[in-house]
């Protein structure tokens, strides 16, 4: 059969197995474990969803081979391969993956110095932890533990193992020039690679000849004391005969390379492909690339042009676990593209859970397996076409309800419409058209230029009303706020509005900061004034430092300044002592928050037998909360 993406959809033989396509679900751990260290039914369902979605292989991650020395303190939970009773959960997870035709892979890892005890050499970490040089007897124990972990993976019905030698974990710590040992495990590249080679030999001995081994490496440590692509190439040549697939990532666990390993929305898609392509020139083993890959056309070109043999995706398959199947069937227009917002990673730090801003099923996969269609179809009227309203409409329609969505403006999207034209928000803005397509294909009737009033509800007589009417921008009551040079942040996407060269943004929340960054990319001179002591405090913990780093050299930020008057020259602000300062501006952008449209909600509360409230009309927040509330409301209908 002729495929739209023939190279991406083609099989690949790796020693004793065959990948059904070139798309692998990369390691993305399910961090919540009812029994610490053990995979559970929830774990199995988390990984199974990626297999059900068509991935050629699914990698189960965070499996620590030597828990007494290797459990990283950077994350809440790991699978502990030397923990008594770990086998049943591992086996259940592998079989859940394999029942959908995917290859089940287990990642073998060790945190090294980030476990807080041993590293290549004596070192004091940035958090004050004193790490000791790993003795040779412990090195031998760990080498043996990798082999035992691989043998356990094979016993648990996995088809392949991934040895983690990248991202700053133990094996990369030894490989790095920052390893100052003076014995056979330090010094030359051959010596620094010795630990990894011994591990690979131990794994091969444990699993036998016909069992494939994948090795994950970082092509560049992005560190003054680390290695770069040249040494990575030489290392790849040293190990290529010992592995069957070489996954080329980049970065380290420390040193500010987080957004190199996990490219942010501020970076180009596929920005790490160049490393895989360069290493592939020097080795014969198949090479996989990873990092900010969610565009099938790009991934097809990567395979077709020989830059890599396999593409691996992590966050992209949280946003849409069915991406591979949609690629295979040529339905790529239905793909829900990862926005690279880092909600998935920041939530893990906050609550120990894994979620996705755009996909409310993530983290609830086991529960979702038993979700039933609606017991009785109902007529559902959704008021508002923002992300919450669209999610409610789609989910309700999938459950068998008759759904009408009304949007009072001439276009869908709600607050997301403000992202139009923002270069680093393209994937988030694309959510509008993707959800519109999902509504169409699930039979949702969409009525634009239609405001939901009590009269309309009485006319339509729905069984259920979902109110998702959003919020309105706060306009501060200061003199001159109605000046022509003042623009509300939510209106920035209006092409009829002219923005001057010198821009002053009143309000340093996430919206104001991202607007400021966008305008600098348009060549504007931007100053942000914020009355609090810091900016972007409402951004998540992974996105915020990357945003601030981008703003640092591009935008002037003035905190502790309260806007008190707009003049022809700009904005007058006062500090906490009342000292006034004029900030000159051609355009003043007001970004001081939103208020929920409670008056609209309250008017509609008793207009239908059942009424649900979702999104910003309850409490202004971000797209995550809007999508989740819409989804949950639809589940309750």
Model confidence pLDDT, tens digit, residues 85-114? 999 999 999 999 999 999 999 999 999 988
Do 576 and 601 sit in the same domain of this protein? no
E strands in 43-90: 57-64, 79-80
What is residue 166's three-state secondary structure? Answer: coil
If you average pLDDT over residues 480-488, what whole number do you get? Answer: 96
Q: Is residue 3 one of the residues assigned to a domain? A: no
Tokens 């008057």 correspond to 565
The predicted pLDDT at position 503 comes to 98
Of 216-220, 229-233, 348-352, 480-484, the range with the lowest mean pLDDT is: 348-352
* Residues 95 and 237 grouped into a single domain: yes
Residue 449 belongs to a domain: yes
Do 111 and 132 lie in a common domain? yes
The domain spanning residue 444 has which CATH number?
Answer: 3.40.50.720
How high is the mean pLDDT of the chain? 95
pLDDT at 29: 83
Spatial distance between the Cα atoms of 49 and 327, rounded to a whole number of angstroms:
16
Provide the pLDDT for residue 168: 87
**Residue 551 belongs to a domain with what CATH number?**
3.50.50.60
CA distances from 277 to 189, 243, 311 (A): 22, 18, 12
Q: Flag whether 2 is in a domain.
A: no
Q: What is the pLDDT of residues 288-334, one digit of tens each?
A: 999 999 999 999 999 999 999 999 999 999 999 999 999 999 999 99
Predicted pLDDT at 30: 81
Domain boundary (333, 367, 401) is at 367
**DSSP 8-state class, residue 372:** -
Beta strands in 329-395 (DSSP E): 379-383
Tokens of 396: 């309700």
Answer whether residue 320 is part of any domain: yes
For residues 56 and 565, what is the distance between their CA atoms, to the nearest angstrom?
60
**What tokens were used for 99?**
């029942």
Query: Residue 73: pLDDT above 70?
Result: no
- How much is the pLDDT for 74? 61
Residue 63 lies in a domain: yes
Dist. CA 161–CA 204, nearest whole Å: 10
3-state secondary structure of 519: helix
Residue 450: helix, strand or coil by DSSP? Answer: coil
The contacts of residue 85 (CB under 8 Å, 6+ apart) are 35, 38
Tokens describing residue 169 = 């974990």
CA distances from 408 to 396, 489, 629 (A): 21, 20, 20
* Burial degree of 533 (CB within 10 A; 0-12, 13-18, 19+): exposed
Section 15-20 average pLDDT: 95
What is the structure's pLDDT at 258?
86
Domain around 416: 372-473+596-636
531 lies in the same domain as 501: yes
Tell me what pLDDT residue 350 has: 86
Inform me whether the pLDDT recorded for 133 exceeds 80. Answer: yes
Both 357 and 377 in one domain: the answer is: no
Q: Is residue 540 part of a domain?
A: yes
Whether 6 is in a domain gets the answer no
CA angle 422, 427, 433 (to 5 degrees): 100
Cα 570 from chain centroid? 39
For residue 256, pLDDT over 80 is answered with no
Q: First CA to last CA across the chain, in angstroms?
A: 41
Per residue in 471-483, pLDDT (tens digit) is 999 999 999 999 9
Q: What is the pLDDT of residues 145-180, one digit of tens each?
A: 999 999 999 999 999 999 999 998 999 999 999 999
Domain boundary among 317, 346, 367: 367
pLDDT band (50, 70, 90) for residue 75: low
Question: For the chain, how many structural domains are there in total?
Answer: 3
Tokens of 50: 């990626």
Say if residue 171 is in the same domain as residue 220: yes
> What percentage of the chain carries pLDDT values higher than 70?
99
Are 47 and 155 part of one and the same domain? Answer: yes
The confidence score (pLDDT) of residue 32 equals 78
Looking at residues 404-419, what average pLDDT do you find? 97
Buried b (16+ CB within 10 A) or exposed e, 442-464: eebebeeebebbeebbeeeebbb
* Same-domain status, 99 and 150: yes
Percent of the chain at pLDDT > 90 equals 88
Q: Which two tokens stand for residue 96?
A: 């859940």
End-of-domain residue from the set 351, 367, 383: 367
Residues 382-410 pLDDT 10s: 999 999 999 999 999 999 999 999 999 99
C-alpha separations of 532 from 425, 536, 577, 580 in Å: 26, 10, 14, 16
464 & 539 share domain: no
The Cα 142–Cα 491 span in angstroms is 58
Q: Is there a domain that residue 236 lies in?
A: yes
Same domain, 458 and 581: no
pLDDT at 127 over 90: no
Shared domain for 540 and 444, answered yes or no, is no
Q: Are residues 588 and 623 in the same domain?
A: no
Between CA 306 and CA 88 the distance in angstroms is: 40
Rounded CA separation 331/338 (Å):
17
Q: What is the mean pLDDT of residues 44-52?
A: 97
Domain CATH for 111: 3.20.20.70
pLDDT tier, 76 (very low <50, low <70, confident <90, very high otherwise): low
């Amino acid at each position: 059969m002729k495929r739209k993406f023939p190279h991406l959809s083609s099989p690949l033989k790796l020693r004793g197995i065959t990948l059904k396509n070139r798309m692998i679900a990369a390691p993305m751990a399910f961090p919540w474990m009812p029994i610490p260290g053990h995979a559970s039914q929830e774990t199995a369902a988390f990984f199974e969803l990626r297999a059900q979605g068509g991935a050629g292989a699914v990698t189960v991650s965070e499996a620590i081979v030597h828990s007494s020395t290797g459990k990283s303190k950077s994350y809440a939970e790991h699978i502990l391969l030397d923990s008594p009773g770990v086998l049943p959960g591992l086996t259940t997870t592998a079989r859940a993956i394999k029942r959908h035709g995917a290859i089940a892979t287990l990642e073998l890892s060790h945190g090294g110095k980030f476990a807080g005890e041993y590293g290549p050499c004596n070192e004091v970490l940035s958090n004050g932890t004193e790490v000791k040089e790993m003795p040779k007897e412990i090195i031998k124990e760990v080498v043996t533990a990798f082999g035992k972990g691989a043998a356990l993976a094979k016993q648990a019905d996995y088809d392949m193992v991934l040895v983690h030698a990248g991202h700053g974990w133990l094996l990369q710590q030894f490989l790095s020039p920052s390893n100052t040992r003076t014995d056979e495990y330090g010094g030359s590249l051959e010596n620094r690679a010795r630990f990894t080679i011994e591990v690979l030999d131990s794994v091969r001995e444990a699993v036998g000849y016909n069992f494939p081994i994948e090795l994950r490496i970082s092509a560049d440590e992005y560190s003054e004391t680390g290695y770069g692509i040249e040494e990575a190439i030489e290392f790849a040549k040293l190990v290529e005969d010992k592995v069957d697939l070489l996954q080329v990532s980049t970065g380290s666990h420390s040193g500010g390379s987080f957004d190199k390993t996990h490219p942010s929305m501020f970076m180009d898609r596929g920005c790490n492909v160049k490393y895989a392509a360069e290493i592939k020139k020097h080795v014969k083993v198949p090479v996989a690339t990873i990092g900010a890959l969610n565009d099938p056309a790009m991934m097809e070109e990567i395979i077709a042009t020989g830059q890599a043999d396999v593409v691996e995706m992590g966050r992209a398959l949280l946003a849409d676990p069915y991406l591979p199947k949609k690629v295979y069937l040529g339905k790529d227009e239905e793909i829900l593209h990862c926005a690279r917002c880092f909600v998935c990673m920041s939530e893990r730090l906050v609550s120990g859970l894994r979620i996705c801003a755009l996909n409310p099923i993530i983290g609830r996969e086991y529960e979702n397996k038993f979700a039933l269609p609606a017991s009785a179809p109902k007529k559902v009227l959704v008021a508002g076409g923002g992300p919450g309203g669209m999610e409610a409409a789609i989910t309700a329609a999938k459950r068998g309800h008759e759904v009408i969505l009304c949007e009072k403006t001439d276009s869908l999207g709600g607050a997301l419409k403000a992202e139009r034209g923002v270069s680093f928000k393209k994937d988030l803005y694309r959510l509008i058209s993707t959800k519109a397509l999902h509504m169409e294909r699930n039979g949702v009737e969409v009525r634009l230029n239609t405001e939901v009033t009590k009269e309309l509800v009485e006319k339509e007589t729905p069984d259920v009303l979902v109110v998702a009417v959003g919020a309105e921008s706060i306009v501060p009551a200061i003199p001159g706020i109605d000046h022509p040079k003042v623009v509300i942040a939510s209106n920035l996407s209006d092409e009829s509005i002219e923005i001057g060269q010198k821009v002053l943004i009143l309000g340093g929340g996430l919206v104001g900061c991202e607007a400021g960054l966008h305008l600098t990319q348009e060549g504007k001179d931007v100053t942000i004034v914020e009355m609090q002591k810091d900016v972007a405090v409402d951004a998540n913990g992974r996105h915020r430092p990357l945003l601030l780093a981008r703003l640092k050299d591009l935008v002037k930020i003035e905190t502790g300044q309260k806007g008190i008057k707009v003049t022809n020259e700009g904005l007058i602000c006062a500090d906490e002592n009342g000292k006034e300062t004029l900030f000159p501006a051609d355009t003043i952008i007001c970004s001081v928050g939103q208020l929920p449209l409670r008056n609209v909600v309250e008017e509609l509360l008793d207009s239908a037998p059942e009424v649900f409230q979702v999104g910003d009309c309850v409490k202004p927040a971000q797209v995550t909360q809007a999508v989740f509330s819409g989804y949950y409301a639809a589940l309750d209908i």
